[in-house]
Amino acid sequence: MSELHDLTAIEQLAALRTGEIGPVDLAGHYLDRIARLDAGLGAFVEVTADAATARARSLAADAPTGALWGLPFADKDLVPRAGVPTRYGSRLHRDVVPDVTGDQAAVLDEAGGVSLGKTNTPEFGLTGYTESQVAPPARDPWNPANGAGGSSGGAATAVAAGLLPLAPASDGGGSIRIPAATVGLVGIKPSRGRVPFASGLDSPGGLPVAGPIARTVADAALLLDVQVAGRPHPYATAAPGAGPFLTSVGAGAASARVGVTTVSPWDDAEDIRLDPDAERAVAVAAALLADAGSAVEAFDWKPRGYAEMFTTIWRTSAARMNLSDAELELVEPITSWLVREGRRLTGAEVLEALAAATAFERETITAFAPFDAVLTPALALPAQPVGWFDADDAARNFSQQVQYAPYSSFVNVCGLPAVVVPVTLDGSGHPVSVQLIGRPGGEAAIVALAAELEGRVGPLPRPDVWRA
């Protein structure tokens, strides 16, 4: 017998608009699942059941309006919501309750969504795994002994376990794609400048952007369209091309040219070992796209000088955090290390890294230019046990993050769009994903290709908790 959470987000919206289900019943369904199941998963750090029920009742009293009318979601705990604790994954912010709701939350409210609370994130969203000192770790619903990735690990756990239909997330070096791929979901990292309220244009290197995590490509495209349309662009520069991207689902792959590579820009600096299941997923995806009519070809990509440049920019971003020396004694070792290392950098070193990033962006976009999309592994390694990332040795921790997800951060440096989508299963039955990287502003093409893959792969199994 099917349950409400078996429906896709788009199907739930259709049922809401016809009155087949109501906002109160739908919110109640998810709140019940969160109450019963989340204790062993760590998806949420705050559940706002009373506020969600009141919001759903308010919506139910009026005619349906807005692209997300009545649909539950949750805010990543880096996004302020008035009256709700916003801890940023840090014990320094245990008692912070903002007075103002940030745009990332307000846009979804304005579209008619119902926030159920806050999803788990690591301290200040700095890591590709979600384990902090203020909350239980976010776990992979397929095997809760393993972590869910990060930094949007709570969002990914919630969607994969059927605790939410979809979730907003953010990505500064892979923070949408890493957890989505870890737990077998679709995650879209938009182009720099695409989402007005989280464009990337106001940060060093232009790295962090907002985007969606969902079970299907269409659901992810739906949420991306809401995020893109939610605010006017505050900068003269915005990503080229235009949505809505939901219309790209079903466009097919017949005329696309797809390049395939398993090269990572970290290969010369770190011990990158590609798991055989990840390599097989790329081969399967390439074959499926070729069968669909895409021109698929391997290409020789030789990225240069990436590791030092990215490490400098990441430390520079951390150094901007307003933390005193006393507070640096209270944050986690990886946070303290990044901030202290960043503050040791000279202005000349930072400018040199930013110039190197611009050169890397230009060279990479030129290398990828013959293709509508470039196909890579999503992750180098499968989901790792909770505690696998070194909690004490920050330098080793950083290397482990790179070894786990070496195909993510360079996409942010280049400002390109990318999507991860599951295509195969490993020996345990866990989904294995691939990444499709688009041209600047090329979300429509990669959404179409991801949907083609999704359709040819067919429905994949769900974790056991789905039926709980």
Residue 271 has pLDDT above 90, yes or no: yes
Catalytic residue of the set 175, 199, 264, 409: 175
- A 10 A CB-CB count for 291 gives 12
Tell me, what CATH number does 143's domain have? 3.90.1300.10
Average pLDDT of the residues in 444-462: 98
What pLDDT was estimated at residue 446? Answer: 98
What's the pLDDT band for 103 if we cut at 50, 70, 90? very high
Indicate if the alpha-carbon torsion angle 214, 151, 172, 324 is positive or negative: positive
Kindly report, residue by residue over 51-86, the tens digit of the pLDDT.
999 999 999 999 999 999 999 999 999 999 999 999
Residue 240 has pLDDT above 90, yes or no: no
Residue 5 has pLDDT above 90, yes or no: yes
Percent of the chain with pLDDT over 90: 96
Catalytic residue of the set 76, 115, 189, 433: 76
pTM greater than 0.95 (yes/no): yes
Residue 202 has pLDDT above 60, yes or no: yes
Residue 464 has pLDDT above 70, yes or no: yes
Kindly report, residue by residue over 132-141, the tens digit of the pLDDT.
999 999 999 9
Kindly report, residue by residue over 357-394, the tens digit of the pLDDT.
999 999 999 999 999 999 999 999 999 999 999 999 99
Question: Rounded to an integer, what distance in angstroms lies between the CA atom of residue 91 and that of residue 34?
Answer: 24
What's the pLDDT band for 254 if we cut at 50, 70, 90? confident
What do you get for the CA distance between the two ends of the chain, in Å? 12
Residue 292 has pLDDT above 70, yes or no: yes
- Cβ neighbours of residue 283 closer than 8 Å, sequence gap 6 or more: none
Residue 48 has pLDDT above 80, yes or no: yes
Percent of the chain with pLDDT over 70: 100
Residue 1 has pLDDT above 70, yes or no: no
What's the pLDDT band for 2 if we cut at 50, 70, 90? confident
Residue with tokens 């880096």: 78
What pLDDT was estimated at residue 243? Answer: 86
Domain encompassing residue 111: 4-467
Catalytic residue of the set 90, 132, 151, 433: 151
What pLDDT was estimated at residue 237? Answer: 84
What pLDDT was estimated at residue 36? Answer: 98
- Cβ neighbours of residue 153 closer than 8 Å, sequence gap 6 or more: 42, 120, 121, 122, 129, 130, 137, 138, 147, 179, 182
Ranges of beta strands (E only) in 329-430 are 373-377, 418-425
Active site residue 302: no
What's the pLDDT band for 242 if we cut at 50, 70, 90? confident
What pLDDT was estimated at residue 46? Answer: 98
Average pLDDT of the residues in 9-33: 98
Residue 454 has pLDDT above 60, yes or no: yes
Domain count, the chain: 1
